Amino acid sequence: MTIEWKEEEKIFHLYNGRVSYMIQLVHGKYLAHAYWGNQFQMMQPSSILQFKGRAFSPMNEPSDPRFSLDTLPQEFPAFGNGDFRTPAYRLQSPDGSTVTHFVYDSFEIMKGKPLIKGLPMTYVENTLEADTLVITMVDSMLGVGMNLYYTIYRDFDIITRSVSIENLGSGEVSIQQCMSMSVDFHNSKWDWLHLQGTWARERHIERRPLIHGVQSISSSRGASSHQHNPFLALLSKDATEDHGMVYGISLVYSGNFQASIEVDPFETTRISMGINPLNFSWLLNPGEIFQTPEALMVYSSEGLGGMSRTFHKIIRSRVCRGVYRDRTRPILINNWEATYFHFTEKKLKEIADVAKDLGIELFVLDDGWFGHRDNDKSSLGDWVVNGKKLPHGLKGLASYLNGLGMQFGLWVEPEMVSPDSDLYRNHSDWCLHVPGRNRTLSRNQLVLDLSREDVCNWLIETLTTLFQSASIRYVKWDMNRNMTEVGSALLPPERQQETSHRYMLGLYRILEVLTQRFPEILFESCSGGGGRFDLGMLYYMPQTWTSDDTDAVERLKIQYGTSMVYPALAMGAHVSDVPNHQVGRMTPLWMRCHVAMAANLGFELNIDKLSRDDKALVRQEIQFYHQIKNVVLFGDLYRLLSPFEGMDTAWMYVAENQEQAVVFYYKTLATPNPPFFRLKLRGLNPKLKYKINDNKRVYYGDELMKIGMSLPPIKTDFFSEIYYLKRDA
Binding site for ligand DGJ (CB under 6 A): 336, 366-367, 411, 478, 480, 526, 528-529, 545, 548
Burial status of residue 454 (CB atoms within 10 A of its CB: 0-12, 13-18, 19 or more): exposed
Nearest approach, Cβ of residue 204 and ligand DGJ (Å)? 18
Give strand pairing partners of 708. none
Closest approach of ligand DGJ to the CB of residue 68, in Å: 51
- Nearest distance, CB of residue 480 and ligand DGJ, angstroms: 5
Based on CB atoms, which residue is closest to ligand DGJ, 71 or 335?
A: 335
Phi, psi (deg, nearest 5) at residue 467: -65, -20
Catalytic residue among 420, 548, 549, 648: 548
48 Cβ partners below 8 Å, 6+ apart? 22, 24, 34, 35
Between CA 292 and CA 413 the distance in angstroms is: 27
- Evaluate the CA torsion angle 55, 60, 65, 66 in order and state its sign: negative
* Of 411 and 590, CB closest to ligand DGJ: 411
Q: Least CB distance from residue 515 to ligand DGJ, whole Å? A: 20
- Pairing between β-strand 543-545 and β-strand 522-525 as defined by DSSP bridges: parallel
Question: Which one, 532 or 557, has the nearer CB to ligand DGJ?
Answer: 532
Catalytic residue among 70, 139, 449, 478: 478
CA–CA dist 345, 401 (Å, integer): 11
CA 510 to chain CA centroid, Å, is 19
The residues, ordered by sequence, that sit 6+ positions from 237 with a Cβ below 8 Å of its Cβ are 189, 190, 191, 209, 244
449 is catalytic: no
Termini Cα distance of the chain? 37
Contact 363, 401 (CB under 8 A): yes
Please check whether residue 371 is in contact with residue 356, taking contact to mean a CB–CB distance below 8 angstroms. Answer: no
Closest approach of Cβ 11 to ligand DGJ, in Å? 49
The secondary structure of 129-142, three-state, reads HEEEEEEEEEECCC
Identify whether the C-beta of residue 474 lies closer than 8 Å to the C-beta of residue 362: yes
Q: Residue 415 and residue 178: Cα distance in Å, rounded?
A: 26
Q: Which H or E run contains 91? A: strand 89-92
> Closest Cα to residue 303, out of 243, 247, 249?
243
Please choose, from the candidates 2, 4, 32, 6, the residue with its C-alpha nearest in 3D space to the C-alpha of residue 18: 2
Annotate 544-575 with three-state secondary structure. Answer: EECCCCCCHHHHHHHHHHHCCCCCHHHEEEEE
What is the rounded distance in angstroms from the CA atom of residue 476 to the CA atom of residue 494? 36
Number of C-beta neighbours around residue 629 at 10 A: 21
Cis? peptide before 414, omega within 30° of 0? no
What is the DSSP-derived secondary structure letter of residue 677? -
Q: What are the Cα distances from residue 727, in Å, to 335, 533, 610, 626?
A: 39, 35, 36, 18
Nearest to 531 by CA among 199, 286, 292: 199
Query: Which region holds residue 386: left if phi is over 0, alpha if psi is between -120 and 50, else beta?
Result: beta
Q: Closest distance between ligand DGJ and the C-beta of residue 378, in Å? A: 12
Query: Least Å distance between CB 581 and ligand DGJ?
Result: 11
| Start-end of H helices in 380-498 | 393-404, 422-426, 453-468
Q: How far apart are CA 205 and CA 191, in angstroms?
A: 13
CA atoms within 13 A on the CB side of 255: 28
Smallest distance, Å, CB 509 to ligand DGJ? 24
Sheet containing 30-38: order of strands: 2-6, 11-15, 19-26, 30-38
Closer residue to ligand DGJ in complex, CB, 324/336: 336
Nearest residue to ligand DGJ by CB is: 367
User: Would you say 183 or 355 has its CB closer to ligand DGJ?
Assistant: 355
Count of CB atoms situated within 10 Å of the CB of 311: 26
- Whichever of 417 and 526 has its CB closer to ligand DGJ, that residue is 526
Give least dist CB 45 to ligand DGJ, A.
Answer: 50
| Burial of 113 per CB tally in 10 Å (0-12, 13-18, 19+) | buried
Closest to ligand DGJ by CB, 262 vs 367, is: 367
Q: How far is the CB of 605 from ligand DGJ (least distance, A)?
A: 13
Whole-angstrom Cα distance, residue 376 to residue 642?
A: 37
Alpha-helix residue ranges (DSSP H) falling in 91-136: none
> How near is the Cβ of 528 to ligand DGJ at its closest, in Å?
5
Phi, psi for residue 618 in degrees, rounded to 5: -60, -45
* Active centre residues (catalytic): 478, 548
